[in-house]
Structure 1
């Protein structure tokens, strides 16, 4: 970060020589200088080049207007105004708060000015660098000798081995020097919340609008368990979103608590809808309690916000309506909602605290912000017992945290602060909107078919689009509640031909798995693949090049599909799975074969029924797991599950949402759950390379799916 932009004066010879001297002095200080052509060029450079650390300009020519424009882009960026004895200095108190320093045009003053610019640059870097990261950078620069862990000693051990040297060269010196021991006292303690770690937590909480925040280095899977272990004591009852992440099922297996399921909706496309308003009412909860053995009034609730497909709740309604002491919003997929006005009122930390309630929000900082994998945050608003909570925190947190992960969490927060952060999220939203419009344009201009996009008509403005009942049919949710759920614009779902949002199957279709495989072979990885839809996440790391690469991939697929190329040529990796099977097959034959198989199984009906009637809970997930560790399990074919108690959760990927929980039994009433699983299995049986990844089911070499059930627990 050593680039200085110089807006030199025009047609003023007596000013040129001091600026030339300053340029030479800045180079000595280690700066690189660039000369924008005009003010607009400068604004573009500042906006798109975050390594610019200062701007030098002529006050008489540009004055406060230039300062104000740059301040809107980055209010922390140092500005250096050159004046002379005749310059007019009309600056208000508020304007003086901007980071502007004044120097006079003078010969032989360049070295002093360059030293000042170096000083102010260092202060700028210090200002934007968060506390723990700053302390970690300082420690690495000091280069201390340690006689503690980790054993690679800042990378020294790697350099004593040929293969270790390859590893060292790949990751670089600073990565390994920053991998340090918890014994380094100047960085404080992640477990005791002291020193720079405590400062970092306070910094993060202020940034995300929380009263308290905790940094977690084991992913949001662990964050979810920490919150649950604290909020739900043994023997209590908990409300849990049925479309929960599997980490919450693991919580239920670990803790002896009784789950009551909040049942969400789905549309025929398989897109995950939210929990209807009626599920949050006192009457609905009372009925669940009455119908569930050993259940009491719930002490805690877990809501997935947003859903995997990008639907956000009006969280204020849930907070006001749900009569439980604490509510946990699992917001793994939306760590950015505090930083753009379109998300107001749609996150766990939005709004004020409420008397008698505490709100938790867990976020995967690595998913859609700039942090390392396993980086996660827990935010809290409301009164809670910090010491007891910290016991749950330490129960799941390593005593040897990776400081680089922790620093990346804090840095991700720092990137979102102020005008640069707002601009970062706004750019992400705008890029997603632009991509959506481009898909629409290509669809309108295309000969024959083209991909569609799951969104309402008319998307001119940046907003979260409401899933409204009645008059709007684009979303496919038959019984939507008004002003309850909203589609996040950066979660882009592309639709392939074959099925409408209302579940009407076409005579011909293109299953989305084919498109996903085609894109993957061209370096474009899809986040989630449904039967006829593909989910793409327009995170802050997506730029125009990546977006154009996706558009090109979609148009190239259409061209290749219309030419009816051979599978061998169009999908060589798939062909390699079974060359004999795919030897002479063409892409349209493959697409229609899978499409007709899906039609035979009547996917829209299956999709709706499979998530309408839940399997019967015969015991809690905790009790089922205890039976499993005692060895009271056996393995059966998945087709034999009716009347048997499942030992494991069973969930197909995508989307990774449990269909059957441990301790549940598929009955005649919930047979559609098994039929849906069998349909997924049958596609892989007929077409090599299209096997479904089903957690909790083991695929044998003969192509059969086997599951674990409890012994002596068969019901006729």
Structure 2
């Protein structure tokens, strides 16, 4: 961060020569100097180059208006205005709040001015660097010798081995020096929440609008368990979104709670919808409790917000309607909702505290912000017992946290503060909106077929689009007004084969083909459904990546229209079974899979599979206790009816559990099994298209085996 932008003064030698001297003085201090052509060029440079640490300009030429424009981009950036003895200093109160310094044009003053610029630059870096990260940087620079863990000793151990040196050179010296022990007292403690760690959590809480925040170094899977272990005592009843992440199923296997499920909608595309408003009412919950053995009034509720496909709730409605002491919003996929007005009222931490309730929000900082993998946060609003909560926190948190992960979570928060943060999220929304419009344009201009996009017909402005009950585009029957909203940065591309009413067409292109084509060209899809592909336009997506995706889609259409051979269009797929794909063309493959989907009527199967839940014979906790005692057998998946599943069964797509541990598929819920068998049949017929079904074991001969409860006489 050593770039200074200088706007050249115009038309006077007495101004040009001091600037030339200052250029030389700043260069000697290690600064890189750039000269924008004009004001617009300067603003674009500041907007697109985060390493610029100051701007120098002539006050008579630019003054207040330029300062305001730069301040809207980065209110922390130091500005240096050069004046002469006749300059008018009409500085108002607003400008005095800016980081604005004045220097006079004078010869032989450059060294002193450069030293001041160095000082103010250091202050700027100190201002924008959050506390734990600052302390970690300082510790690394001090280069202390330690006689504690980790054993690589700031990377020194790696340098004693040939393969170790490869590792050292790849990751870099500072990454390894920052991997320090919890014994480093000046960094405080993540477990006791002291020192710079405490400052970091307070800093994050202020940034994200919570009353208390915690950094979690092993993902939101762990954050979810921490909240659940504290909020739901053994024997209590908990409302759980059936859309839940598998970490919550694991929570239920760890602690003896009684789950009562809130059932979300699905559409024919397999896109995960939200929980209808009626499910949150007292009457609906009373009905569920009456139908669940050992259930009592719930003490806690867990809601997935947003869904995997980018649907956000009106969280104010849920907070005020759900009659439970605490509500946990699993917001793993939306750690940015506090930083753009289109998300107001759609996040866990939005609004004021709710009297008598505690609101928790867990977020995967690493998923869509700039942080290392496993960096996660817990935000809390409301009264809770900090000491007891920290016991639950320490149950799941390692005593040897990776400080790089902690610092990256804090840095992600720092990046979102102020105008630079709002601009980051706004740019992400704008890039997604531009991409959506480009897909629409290409669809309108292209002869024959082209990809569609899951969104309302008109998307002129950046907003979260409501799933209005009187519109058909979203495909959700009986949608509630002012309840669910589509996040613009979650972009779902639709392939031909199914119309918006969920009816299968005569011909189609299954999305898995497109995903494989893109993957072979370096573009990885986040999630693939039968006829849809999900792409995340996070803050790290730039125009280069966006255009690569656009080119990949257009290249697929061109190749598909030419009906190329599979071995030429999808060489990696061909390599999986050359004999099977030797003479096959892409049309044959696409229509073969499509007809299999039509034969099984996949849209109907998906809807029915999630409409009737399997019968809960025992809680997930009770089932896991049987499993660890060895009271389990295996059976083929098509023999699962009437047997109690020992594991959670979770197919991708759609990526949420269809069977929980301790549940039994009965004739009434047979659609669940038919859905799973249909997914298996595609892989049996077409090599390379095997379905990933968690909770099953795929044998070499293509059988899917499931763990089940062993009958008592066989135990």
Q: TM-score, normalised by structure 2?
A: 0.99
Kept after mapping to 2: 8 A contact 1:178/1:404: yes
Partner in structure 2 of residue 595 of structure 1: 594
Q: Distance in 2 between matches of 1:500 and 1:363?
A: 34
Unmatched runs of 5 consecutive residues or more in structure 2: none
**CA deviation string 1:179-205 (max 9, x = no partner):** 000000000000000000000000000
Give the secondary structure class of the aligned counterpart of 2:709: strand
Counterpart Cα distance in 1 of 2:87 and 2:63: 10
Q: 1:524: how far off? A: 0.2
Residue 518 (structure 1) aligned with residue 520 (structure 2): no
Contact 2:271 2:654 survives alignment (8 Å): no
2: distance between equivalents of 1:496 and 1:670?
30
Aligned-pair distance for 1:604? 1.2
- Equivalence for 1:354: 354
Q: Give 1:528 shift.
A: 0.2
Give the alignment of 1:33-44 within 5 angstroms.
Answer: 33-44=33-44
Q: Please list, as runs of the form range in 1=range in 2, the aligned pairs for 1:85-234 lying within 5 A after superposition.
A: 85-234=85-234
Q: 2-side partners of 1:520 and 1:249: how far apart?
A: 31
Partners of 1:393 and 1:502 in 2: CA distance = 46
* Paired position in structure 2 for 1:8: 8
Q: Deviations over 1:64-88 (max 9, x none)?
A: 1111110000000000011111110
Q: Could you tell me which residue of structure 2 aligns to residue 329 of structure 1?
A: 329
Contact 1:615/1:665 (8 A) holds in 2: yes
CA displacement, residues 136-170 of structure 1 (integer Å, 9 cap, x when unaligned): 00000000000000000000000000000000000
Q: Secondary structure at the match of 1:359?
A: strand
| Aligned 1:246-325 pairs, distance under 5 A | 246-325=246-325
Matched position secondary structure for 2:710: strand
- 3-state SS, counterpart of residue 119 of structure 1: helix
Question: 3-state DSSP class of the match of 1:611?
Answer: helix
SS in 1 for 2:475: coil
CA contact (8 A) 1:644 1:713 kept: no
Identify the residue that residue 454 of structure 1 maps to in structure 2. Answer: 454
Paired position in structure 1 for 2:551:
552
8 Å Cα contact 1:269/1:500 also seen in 2: no
Q: Distance in 2 between matches of 1:139 and 1:35?
A: 36
1-structure distance, mates of 2:279, 2:698: 36
Verify: 1:388 aligned to 2:388, yes or no: yes
**1:713, CA displacement in angstroms?**
6.6
Q: Deviations over 1:546-575 (max 9, x none)?
A: 000000000000000000000000000000
Shift of 1:13: 1.1
Query: Does residue 437 of the first structure (1) align with residue 460 of the second (2)?
Result: no
Tell whether the 8 Å contact from 1:325 to 1:358 is kept in structure 2 after alignment. yes
Cα distance in structure 1, aligned partners of 2:347 and 2:160: 50
Task: Give the Cα–Cα distance (whole angstroms) in 2 for the partners of residues 589 and 354 of structure 1.
Answer: 58
* Inter-partner Cα distance in structure 1 for 2:684 and 2:15: 79
Distance 1:501 1:198 in 2: 50
Structure-2 residue corresponding to 1:690: 689
Q: 1:453-532 residue pairs with structure 2 within 5 A? A: 453-470=453-470, 472-532=471-531
Question: Take 1:492 and 1:196, find their aligned partners in 2: how far apart are those partners?
Answer: 38
Per the alignment, residue 666 of structure 1 pairs with 665
Q: Secondary structure at the match of 1:494?
A: strand
Q: SS where residue 646 of structure 1 aligns?
A: coil
Q: What does residue 240 of structure 2 align with?
A: 240
1:57 matched to 2:57? The reply is: yes
Between the aligned partners of 1:183 and 1:304, the Cα distance in structure 2 is: 37
Q: Is the 8 A contact 1:451 1:494 kept in 2?
A: yes
Match of 1:680 in 2: 679
Give a deviation string over 1:330-352, Cα, whole Å, max 9, x none: 00000000000000000000010
* Cα deviations by residue, 1:34-81 (Å, 9 ceiling, x for unpaired): 000000000000000000000011111111111111000000000001
State the Cα deviation string for residues 254-305 of structure 1 (Å, max 9, x = none).
Answer: 0000000000000001000000000000000011111111000000000000
Q: Secondary structure at the match of 1:61?
A: coil
| Secondary structure of residue in 1 paired with 2:95 | helix
User: Counterparts of 1:53 and 1:289 in 2: how far apart (Å)?
Assistant: 60
Which of 296-305 and 649-658 deviates more?
Answer: 649-658
> In the aligned structure 1, how far is the partner of 2:611 from the partner of 2:276?
13
Q: Tell me the distance in 1 between the aligned counterparts of 2:308 and 2:499.
A: 20
Per-residue CA deviation, residues 193-219 of structure 1 (Å, 9 max, x unaligned), is 000000000000000000000000010
SS at match of 1:644: coil
Structure 1: tracts of 5 or more residues without a match: none
Alpha-carbon shift at residue 17 of structure 1 (Å) = 0.9
Q: Contact 2:154/2:178 (CA < 8 Å) preserved in 1? A: yes
Residue 402 of structure 2 is matched in structure 1 by 402
- Per-residue deviation at 1:607? 1.1
Q: CA deviation at 1:656?
A: 2.1
Name the CA distance, whole Å, in 2 between partners of 1:15 and 1:610.
Answer: 76
Partner residue in 1 for 2:418: 418
Mapped to 1, the partners of 2:73 and 2:712 lie a distance apart of 65
Residue 654 of structure 1 deviates from its aligned partner by 2.8
Partner Cα distance (1:613, 1:143) in 2: 61
2:647 corresponds to: 648
Distance 1:654 1:143 in 2: 49
SS of corresponding position for 1:190: coil
Q: How far apart are 1:501 and its partner, in Å?
A: 2.6
Worse-matched range after superposition: 6-15 or 194-203: 6-15
Confirm or deny: 8 A CA contact 1:2 1:51 kept in the other structure. Answer: yes
* 1:157 counterpart SS class: helix
Q: Deviations over 1:202-252 (max 9, x none)?
A: 000000000000000010000000000000000000000001000000000
**Alignment check: 8 A CA contact 2:132 2:197 kept:** yes
Query: Could you tell me whether the CA contact under 8 Å between 1:243 and 1:264 is conserved in 2?
Result: yes
Q: For each residue in 1:413-448, what CA deviation from the matched residue of structure 2 results, as whole angstroms up to 9, or x when unmatched?
A: 000000000000000000000000000010001110
1:643-685 deviation line (CA, Å, top 9, x unaligned):
0000000001233210000000000000000000000000000
Distance in 2, Cα, partners of 1:442 & 1:110: 55
1:92 is displaced (CA, Å) by 1.4
SS in 1 for 2:372: coil
Tell me the matched-pair count. 713
Q: Displacement of 1:94 after TM fit? A: 2.3
Contact 1:308–1:655, Cα closer than 8 Å, also in 2: no
Cα distance in 2 for partners of 1:537, 1:713 equals 48
Distance in 2 of aligned mates of 1:322 and 1:211 = 21
For 1:66 and 1:450, how far apart are their aligned partners in 2? 45
Normalising by structure 1, we get a TM-score of: 0.99
Q: Which runs of 4+ in 1 moved over 6 A?
A: none
